[in-house]
Chains A and B, each alone.
Chain A
Amino acid sequence: MSIDPNPGPVFVERRAYRRRRLVDAARLLPILGVTLVCLPLLWTGERDAPTSTTYAMIYFFSLWLALVIGAALLSRRLKSEAKSDTADAGADAVGGPAGDK
């Protein structure tokens, strides 16, 4: 509850490092999304000929698809990482009580 006096190791093993960067990516994706969703607001005043709805539609649905694919890839990676983590933890949990016998 209080500030952890042990802020954790400075160097973590490669897998833990990768996992943290994955989480970073998962956190940053919606921010990228917000930026790109608001980007078309800048289109309005810049051209004589106004942007067409079809142009915007293609932009938005492409963006949407990209976000979906990005989220899917990230969640898949996070899932497999988590799976192997819980598998390790599970092995420990099974081994623990057995060791007590």
Chain B
Amino acid sequence: MATLNILVLVCLSYVVLLFVVAFAADRAALRGRGKWLRSPIIYTLSLSIYCTAWTFYGAVGFAARSGLEFVTIYLGPTLVMIGWWWALRKMVRVGRSQRITSIADLISSRFGKSNTLAVFVTLLAVIGTTPYIALQLQSVTLSFAAFAETGPDVGEAINREVTAFWLALGLALFTILFGTRNLDANERHHGVVMAIALEAVVKLFALLAVGVFVVWGLSGGVSETLARIDASNIARWDVSASRWVGLTALSAAAFLCLPRMFQVMVVENEDEDHLRTAAWAFPAYLMLMSLFVVPIAVVGLDLLEGTNPDLFVLSLPLSQGQDGLAILSFLGGFSSATSMVIVAAIALSTMVSNHIVMPIWLNMTGGNAVMSGDVRQVALLARRLSIAGVVLLGYLYFRISGGGTALAKIGLVSFAGVAQFLPALLGGLFWRGATRAGAMAGLVIGSLVWLYSLFLPSFGTGTILSDAIMHDGLWGLSWLRPQALFGSEGMDPLVHAVMWSMLLNTAGFITVSLLSFPKPIERLQGAQFVNVYDHSPTTGGWTGGLAQTEDLLIMAQRIMGSTQAQAFFASAAGRQGIGGYLPEPSPDFLQSLERELSGSVGAAAAHAMVGQIVGGASVSVEDLMAVADETAQIMEYSSKLEAKSTELTRTARQLREANEKLTQLSRQKDAFLSQVSHELRTPMTSIRAFSEILRDADGLQAEEAGKYASVIHDEAIRLTRLLDDLLDLSVLENGQVSLNVQTGTLGDLLDRAEAAAGGNSGELEVRRQRGDEGIMLSTDLDRLAQVFINLIANARKYCDAKTPVLTIESRLSGEMLLVDFIDNGTGIPTDKQTVIFEKFSRIGDTKAGGAGLGLAICREIMGRLGGRVTYLPGQSGAAFRVSLPVEQRVAAQ
């Protein structure tokens, strides 16, 4: 009993040590100290919760029964770890970028945040893990019992159930104390991880110590040990290939899917880079853990024939009187059991409270509490209760099952259960076509097959599944026998169950995924998971207060500009009474920063960005929707701006055109004024000169005086005519002219014009076709005559033929009267044809001093009369066409 008392004392001291270590680690992490807490070695050691009491005690038992087959349980995880580049890296990256809290959360997030899926995964995980927790309790009580049996008072049997109860209570307490310190499941449990790392060292050391004792203490060296193995009944390398491959694959799958492994590997991961170290260090750990398993088993079989091989690790030192080593070994087993229970309880409680308790509670309270702060308290309470519940379940299972059967068997059943997550997990990470319906179908099918073919039969024939079902199949269908599904007889029951459950699971998953259509959020999440490396370039962790602030500063600099951001941060730090640029990330500061940023990128985006860095919340779909809304608003605004800008461009172009026109007009006006003054100046000059001669010259002969006076008279007439023309033009251009409509024939009008222009006198011969000229006109005949006069006078003036002839042709074309004036001169050069109707435009040197206003006046008159006068190119000489609309009635006469 003394040994037992010492054992209890040592055990309690060890527990106190664990509490102290966890507490110190939490304190150190809280103060931002203790970088070593986040080292890759601690991460690797925390992975060692894969090695539970099942490993510590059970592996030896496994080896004693089946020889080397036990290594498959460690080779599977080894292969997964050295293949970290394939799956683990992606899993950890997704877990970090999506702020995943558990494997249920990962699968549900991937498939559109489906809570149904999460609940299902949680339930399956609880069903699969509960026996495993019971197994841990059992192994500790067994080891206690082993001590008690060898004690001096052999008769005093230890009450195993009481031991298990106190153990469960202590574990629940520890887990609640250090596992629910923070609400955020993404926050690392530094205390817990540290305690687990310590336990990992203890169990490795204990197992190695026992191994060394067995090999060198009991067997006398390596070669002797090998000889002993060769002599034992597990000397033959005789493994079933299907079990070998099946168990390796199963342990590899379970390593990825076990909730507690997910917890330490992904959720508690500080830095993705730690995986690099763990990739070789963890396989090394596993190798050391299994190095002495076979020697211990062989020596145990030799020395302790007939006792439980699962306890050889403990009973060997005890039987040899090595109490110190036995206590160490006991501590190793105790460490393995407790660390597994603690982490499994944390992982399961996170799942249970997040996916089952909280949704139910929120439903019951109508979701009103979301607004108030007591959600936090409720969530913490839910998690604590869940931990207690999970541990209690394990204890109840232990009580009910009574702790029978070999340890290893329960472990493998549990492995096969959680391995059902694998298709959904890997499919979700690597295949964008995987859908929620597919995942659900695969999980349901796989878990049903697992329950029916492995879990329920594991209670023993006749307990839950009757003999009849086991031998004849469900409803008497022989192909539904639990251990010979579809007629696959003679297989190992475990391999059989694993094969069928995984096969049907995967088939269901793929088939339903191919046939179903995912919801938008599933597709969104699918893209984010599968292409996680494109979406999350950052690998570093947002841990520690200052690191967060620094990241915030980097982000703010990108958005606000560095000077402004630095000033903002410095002033915030100043308000908090801190020097430098990095204030504490207090809620006030974060709120003001978010406000500041939302000025630049919109409220939702700012919230999401700050949330991403601080880790308060992940980007929800609502956030994304809000971002999209804001973006849409911005786009609408920018399209409005664009419309306005095109309008402005148009206006600007109009303005520019108007300006050009004005400039042109101004230029024309200047030209006009200078032309007019020039035109006025010439006659004025001659008038002045001749009038001066008349005044000053004495003795001027009457003949000369008369000549000079007539020059003055002519010039004055020319001046008057010019001024008349100008006046006329100005009146016409201003539209002030009033038309005096008369009726008359074209012929009369032409006669009048011909006479006014100087008749047929002189050298110009006018040829007319009088037959066509009987057209009645009803217009301002005086004005029209003015045009004709002008055209005839022009021909008289400018026709340069030897015998100038002007042909006047008139005809009706539809409702238009066309009168052509064609002379036989050289005509007007093409480049001048466009300018002849402009004011003061004269072509060549002027024989007769016209002012160049005639055609301009003609054009204006015809415009007033509703017709036009144009130059007619391509005739024998200069040709002008006067066109004028006539009424049909008048024309018919």
Contacts and interface: CB of A to CB of B under 8 A. Distances in A.
Contacts of B279: 71, 74-75
Contacts of A53: 67-68, 229-230, 234-237, 294
B229 A100 contact: no
Given A26-B85, A37-B79, A68 B280 contact: yes
19 contacts: A26-B84, A26-B85, A27-B85, A30-B80, A31-B83, A37-B79, A44-B239, A50-B238, A56-B68, A56-B237, A70-B82, A72-B281, A75-B276, A79-B273, A97-B554, A98-B562, A100-B557, A100-B561, A100-B562
Contact of B273 (A34, A52, A61, A82): A82
Contacts of B531: 1
Interface in A40-73: 40-41, 43-44, 50-57, 60-61, 64-65, 67-72
Nearest to A51: B237
A52 B562 contact: no
Contact of A40 (B84, B237, B280, B291): B237
Candidate in B86, B277, B284, B563 with the most chain A CB atoms within 10 angstroms: B284
B241 interface: yes
Nearest to B531: A1
Given A50-B237, A82-B273, A71 B562 contact: no
Contact of B235 (A52, A61, A65, A68): A52
A34 B237 contact: no
Contact of B230 (A52, A61, A70): A52
B294 A64 contact: no
A54 B222 CA distance: 11
Contacts of A27: 83, 85-86
Given A37-B248, A38-B245, A53-B294, A101 B562 contact: yes
A60 B68 contact: yes
A57 B563 CA distance: 66
A23 interface: yes
Contacts of A100: 557, 561-563
A35 to B, nearest CB: 10
Interface residues of A, number: 43
Nearest to A67: B82
B256 interface: no
Contacts of A12: none
Interface in B56-78: 67-68, 71, 75, 78
Contacts of A72: 280-281
A70 B685 CA distance: 115
B244 interface: yes
Q: When A and B form their complex, which 4 residue pairs have the shortest distance between CB atoms, in order from nearest? A: A30-B83, A72-B280, A51-B237, A71-B280
Interface of B: 67-68, 71, 75, 78-86, 226, 229-230, 234-239, 241, 244-245, 248, 273, 276-277, 279-281, 283-284, 287, 291, 294, 527, 531, 554, 557-558, 561-563
B77 to A, nearest CB: 11
A93 interface: yes
A51 B239 CA distance: 11
Nearest to A94: B554
A60 B290 CA distance: 11
A76 B291 CA distance: 25
A27 B83 CA distance: 6
A34 B79 contact: yes
Nearest to A23: B85
A23 B86 CA distance: 10
Contact of B554 (A29, A50, A75, A93): A93
Contacts of B562: 97-98, 100-101
A60 B71 contact: yes
Nearest to B80: A30
Nearest to A29: B82
B557 A97 contact: yes
A55 to B, nearest CB: 7
Nearest to A37: B75
B549 to A, nearest CB: 15
Nearest to A70: B82
A30 B85 CA distance: 10
B82 to A, nearest CB: 4
A65 B291 CA distance: 11
A84 B5 CA distance: 57
Given A30-B82, A50-B237, A52-B236, 4 more contacts: A61-B287, A68-B283, A68-B287, A71-B283
B305 to A, nearest CB: 19
A61 B277 contact: no
Contacts of B237: 40, 43-44, 50-53, 55-56
B444 to A, nearest CB: 30
Contacts of B86: 27, 30
A101 B71 CA distance: 61
A54 B557 contact: no
Contacts of B527: 1
B672 to A, nearest CB: 61
A42 B56 CA distance: 30
A70 B82 CA distance: 9
B229 A54 contact: yes
Contact of A51 (B84, B85, B236, B284): B236
A59 to B, nearest CB: 9
Contacts of B283: 64, 67-68, 71
Contacts of B291: 61
B447 to A, nearest CB: 27
A98 to B, nearest CB: 8
Given A52-B235, A52-B236, A57 B229 contact: yes
Interface in A7-28: 23, 26-27
Nearest to A97: B562
Nearest to A89: B537
B82 A71 contact: yes
A79 B84 CA distance: 14
A38 B239 CA distance: 11
B208 to A, nearest CB: 14
B244 A41 contact: yes
Contacts of B78: 33, 64, 67
Contacts of A97: 554, 557-558, 562
Q: Which of B86, B279, B527 has the most CB of A within 10 A?
A: B279
A33 B554 CA distance: 43
A37 B73 CA distance: 12
A70 B732 CA distance: 105
A60 B287 CA distance: 10
Interface centre among A1, A82, A100, A101 (most CB of B within 10 A): A1
Contacts of A41: 239, 241, 244-245
A24 to B, nearest CB: 9
A72 B280 CA distance: 5
A52 B234 CA distance: 9
A101 B563 contact: yes
A5 to B, nearest CB: 15
A43 to B, nearest CB: 6
Contacts of A50: 236-238
Contact of A79 (B238, B248, B276, B281): B276
Contacts of B557: 97, 100
A71 to B, nearest CB: 4
A101 B566 CA distance: 11
A100 B563 CA distance: 8
Contacts of B563: 100-101
Nearest to A79: B276
Interface string A75-101: 100110010000000000100011011
